[in-house]
Amino acid sequence: MLQAFKAYISKEKLFLPGEKILLAVSGGMDSVAMAELFFRAKFNFGIAHCNFQLRGEESDQDEAFVSFLSRKYKVALYTKRFFTKELT
């Protein structure tokens, strides 16, 4: 799977070798798998996470998990909290 992932990125010219990519990681299965593939492929990346605070404690747990992933991968983390309920 890792080789197919790397081959697809190269074939489609999604980004240049060495270029830094910012991944939007929610903490869900899909975005965590994407981050893991980028890590295993040794791509240069950082992680962005938005906490919309719509699910209370669960939203905070997602943010904490994504923070853990950034430390595990030793990559930059950019987080932003939104007070979504106050805006509606």
Instruction: Report the first-to-last Cα separation within the chain, whole angstroms.
Output: 42
Q: Which fold has domain 18-87?
A: Rossmann fold (3.40.50)
C-alpha to C-alpha distance for 59 and 81, rounded to whole angstroms: 10
Tally of CA atoms within 13 A in the half-sphere of 27 that contains its CB: 17
Give pLDDT < 50 ranges for the chain: none
Question: In the prediction, which pLDDT does 88 show?
Answer: 65
Mean pLDDT, the chain, as a whole number? Answer: 93
pLDDT in tens, 1-17: 999 999 999 999 999 98
Question: In the prediction, which pLDDT does 52 show?
Answer: 84
Q: Who's near 19: CB < 8 A, 6+ residues apart?
A: 44
Domain ranges of the chain: 18-87
C-alpha to C-alpha distance for 31 and 28, rounded to whole angstroms: 6
